[in-house]
């Protein structure tokens, strides 16, 4: 039997925090996307841990759907990044200030 679920939940919380810090601090859109993936993975780890602790496979089904949504999100997000790069030649979020008054 593996370790008690608290260890996994604590690790997931730490990874989620690192991802959140990265999302807030970094300015490169690609790296911000990677930080979102980190946060999604932390949530997935939580779901799998609760699926084991509660003995319910529904948690694993949710992880499956999160994977699908993450894939769709990355495809569309990177499409937007590429389109934006064609117009402005930058992937830095601070440079996208066309709407600045």
Residue 88 engages another protein in binding (rule: CB under 8 A): no
State the sign of the Cα–Cα–Cα–Cα dihedral 33, 35, 38, 42.
Answer: negative
Query: Strand locations in the chain, DSSP E?
Result: none
Per CB under 8 A, which of residues 35..74 are in contact with another protein? 35, 37-38, 41, 44-45, 48-49, 51-58, 60-61, 63-65, 67-74
Residues facing residue 80 across a β-bridge: none
For 27, phi then psi, to 5°, come to: -115, -10
Which residues would be at the binding site for another protein (CB under 8 A)?
Answer: 1-11, 13-22, 24-28, 30-31, 33-35, 37-38, 41, 44-45, 48-49, 51-58, 60-61, 63-65, 67-76, 78-83, 85, 91, 94
């Amino acid at each position: 039997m593996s370790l008690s679920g608290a260890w996994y939940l604590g690790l997931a919380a730490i990874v989620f925090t690192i991802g959140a810090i990265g999302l807030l601090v970094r300015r490169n859109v690609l790296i911000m996307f990677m930080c979102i993936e980190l946060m999604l993975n932390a949530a997935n780890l939580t779901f799998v841990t609760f699926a084991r602790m509660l003995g319910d496979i529904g948690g694993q089904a949710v992880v499956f759907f999160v994977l699908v949504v993450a894939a769709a999100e990355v495809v569309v997000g990177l499409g937007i990044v590429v389109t934006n790069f064609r117009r402005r030649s930058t992937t830095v979020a601070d440079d996208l200030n066309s709407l600045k008054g």
